[in-house]
A and B are shown apart, each in its own frame.
Chain A
């Protein structure tokens, strides 16, 4: 079932609308956003935070972060292999036919954005999530793997086995890739969108083509402290974006004439952020930064919503003393001008 406007396209769109209705739940995507920015995968807590914050998502993320500070750090999970993702949505804009096919899943991308007045009176139905546990989830090969086999992808140079932990060390520039990806994964949606957009639009040159955008469930595994075997401790919904940094028009190539990858992985279903993350992963790894979105300090010091909201809103605190001190200088400078 392709998502290009050829045969099957209309059916696909209609089915996507139906899937949206199945998934539809109050604040579903807001919860995903707050889990990402709050950097804690806890849907019930995110829901509580959104209620407590009356829908202010930055405030809700802040509540989650403050709560997170009180939790002990137990350890790291094993790297998640997204090949094993139980896919509910996957699309590619590099190739029409991909392993497993284009699966639209829950998306509003091809709907007309019209307010549905008749809906406003409706009581929200509790979404029933039924799943057939007996069925083995299908696994699909990834588009990027196919390109890898063809020798088209430049592999990232770094492979940080032990990740840099941005919650246990302050950012040190230049950042390692693991630090960059962590900071992006909990960055604020709007800030990341704006910076990613700036690179696409004109201040920079990173324009990816999406090899694959996937939404689905992945298992989180840890190494058992005694047996050292991998054990699954649960699953999380995640959105993954693999962007080929191809450029449009002028093709972007790495030194050995291969494509580079930009990578995004975020909690829940949040495609806009996953794509923004892939773009910013690309922009902040360029060798000779020129545009604002390519300047690591500019990007990473300013995308954290909790940092930004706190400092901008601190302006509401009294500044009587400091302002008095400035007044004194203005007076002095005026006298000097006379």
Chain B
């Protein structure tokens, strides 16, 4: 794009973000403050993830961007277009082909390897915000590893509702040290962060925090001995397009108004269709 630096941000900004990322990788799960810039997309629409992607990306990278699992969601396309206009990097929908995957609220269904980096867009970096509004206090609680308030909250959940009611954004303990907000990924994706081969980078633009899970790091969801963490239950439903019963599904309706369920990972769904000899009606 004429008149703009490679990958939009100036080189000093990129270097600053990369340094903060290195610190984040060195202290798994710890939220590193950084001076987030205003981006040409709105705060809360992926500016954190975008700044990480732009500070990492180079000519040899292949980028995939998904929004709630979908490659073709309007905001994912908007982000991809901005990155491509300022870098000319190759874009892909294929999870296996991507070197950087920027995501809002999903981890792709396919297995990611050591060469891949996943960049999460984060609305709320602070897992303790649910129980404590003050940033000064939550930072102290992390420093002292004082997580009693969140444990109490989980206990109260059970008393009040009979179970832990975190839907997405389920708090996890990283490397037995820091409580971390995994961004609003569904619980379905949480076990896939544990001892993962890939590097996970999390960035909140509006809240100005970056944090990370390095490859092969212990990631444990909070749970009690008698009330275990559990993933979403789809009661044996299968995807209406590809027939899979082992992926995260979202409810929808078909043309006749009947309830159907569909894979949220659109690229994986398409691959399965092809493999199973099913072909999409349109792109």
Binding site for B on A (CB under 8 A): 62, 65-66, 68-70, 72, 167-174, 297, 301, 306-307, 309-314, 317-322, 324-329, 332-333, 335-337
Can you sample 13 A-B contacts with CB below 8 Å?
Answer: A65-B38, A66-B39, A169-B35, A306-B43, A307-B206, A313-B42, A313-B44, A314-B45, A321-B264, A322-B168, A325-B187, A326-B167, A329-B165
| Known contacts A70-B5, A297-B136, A309-B42; is-contact A321 B163 (Cβ 8 Å) | no
Q: Note all chain B residues with C-beta closer than 8 A to A307.
A: 43, 206
Interface residue SS majority, chain B: loop
- Inter-chain contacts of A172 with B (CB < 8 A): 33
Measured between C-beta atoms, what is the minimum distance from A323 to chain B in Å?
Answer: 8
User: Which residue of the partner chain, among A69, A173, A311, A321, contacts B38 with CB atoms under 8 Å?
Assistant: A69
In angstroms, Cα B264 to Cα A309, docked, is 28
- A254–B23 Cα distance when bound, in Å, is 43
Of B67-75, B87-95, B238-246, B270-278, the stretch lying at the interface with chain A is B67-75
CA distance A62 to B44 in the complex (A): 13
Query: B133-183: which residues lie under 8 A (CB-CB) from chain A?
Result: 133-136, 161-163, 165-169
Task: Give 4 nearest A-B pairs by CB, closest first.
Answer: A336-B162, A310-B43, A314-B44, A310-B42
Question: Once the chains bind, are B166 and A337 in contact (CB under 8 Å)?
Answer: no
Q: How far apart sit A195 and B264, CA to CA, in the bound complex (Å)?
A: 42
Q: Does B202 contact A (CB under 8 A)?
A: no
Whether B206 pairs with A325 at a CB distance below 8 angstroms is no
Q: Which residue on A lies nearest to B248, using beta carbons?
A: A321
Closest Cβ of chain A to B222, distance in Å, is 15
* Closest Cβ neighbor of B160 among chain A residues: A333
Q: Is B68's CB under 8 angstroms from A318's CB?
A: yes
Expressed in whole angstroms, the Cα–Cα distance for A311 and B123 within the complex equals: 8
Taking a contact as CB atoms closer than 8 A, the residue among A301, A306, A314, A324 that contacts B186 in the complex is A324
Nearest CB in chain B: distance from A315 CB, A: 8
A174 to B4, CA, bound (A): 36
Contacts of A328 in B (CB 8 A): 167, 232-233
Whether B38 pairs with A170 at a CB distance below 8 angstroms is no
Residue of B35, B70, B163, B169 near A332 (CB, 8 A) is B163
> Given known contacts A311-B206, A328-B232, A336-B161, is B43 in contact with A322 (CB within 8 Å)?
no
Chain B positions within 8 Å of A66 at CB level: 38-40
Closest chain A residue to B165, Cβ basis: A329
B65 to chain A, nearest CB (A): 13
Of B38, B68, B73, B104, which is in contact with the most chain A CB atoms at under 10 Å from its CB?
Answer: B38
Docked complex Cα distance between A167 and B12 (Å): 13
B67 / chain A contacts, CB cutoff of 8 Å:
317-318
Residues in B neighbouring A321, C-beta threshold 8 A? 68-69, 105-106, 168, 184-186, 248, 250, 264
Chain B residue at minimum C-beta to C-beta distance from A38: B38
Contact A72 B42 (CB under 8 A): no
A313 to B44, CA, bound (A): 8
Most B C-beta atoms less than 10 A away, residue of A70, A321, A327, A333: A321
Contacts of A167 in B (CB 8 A): 35
- Which residue of the partner chain, among A69, A169, A322, A336, contacts B184 with CB atoms under 8 Å? A322
Q: Does B194 contact A (CB under 8 A)?
A: no
Q: How far is the CA of A318 from the CA of B123 in the complex (A)?
A: 14
The docked-state distance in angstroms from the alpha carbon of A47 to that of B233 is 54
A311 near B44: Cβ-Cβ < 8 Å: yes
B134 touches A297 (CB 8 A): yes
Docked CA distance A70–B161 (Å): 50
Taking CB atoms, residues of chain B closer than 8 Å to A337 are 161-162
B34 at the interface (CB under 8 A from A): yes
Cβ of B140 to closest chain A Cβ, rounded Å: 11
How far is A174 from B233 in the complex, measured between Cα atoms in Å? Answer: 45
Are A320 and B68 CB-contacts (below 8 A) given A69-B37, A70-B10, A314-B45? yes
Q: Is there a chain A Cβ closer than 8 Å to B27's Cβ?
A: no
How far is it, in angstroms, between the C-alpha of A69 and the C-alpha of B9 when the chains are bound? 8
**Residues of chain B with a CB closer than 8 A to A320's CB:** 68, 250, 264
Assess whether B135 is in contact with A297, with CB atoms less than 8 Å apart.
yes
Which residues of B lie under 8 Å from residue A317 when comparing CB positions? 45, 67, 75, 104
A322 contact from B4, B13, B40, B68, Cβ within 8 A:
B68
Which of B8, B73, B135, B168 sits near A70, CB closer than 8 Å? B8
Q: Which residues of A contact B40 (CB under 8 A)?
A: 66
**Which residues 217-231 of B have a CB within 8 angstroms of A?**
none
For residue A69, which residues in chain B have a CB less than 8 angstroms away from its CB? Answer: 9, 13, 37-39
In angstroms, Cα B3 to Cα A70, docked, is 10
Whether A329 pairs with B166 at a CB distance below 8 angstroms is yes
Is the C-beta of B96 less than 8 angstroms from some C-beta in chain A? Answer: no
A81 to B37, CA, bound (A): 30
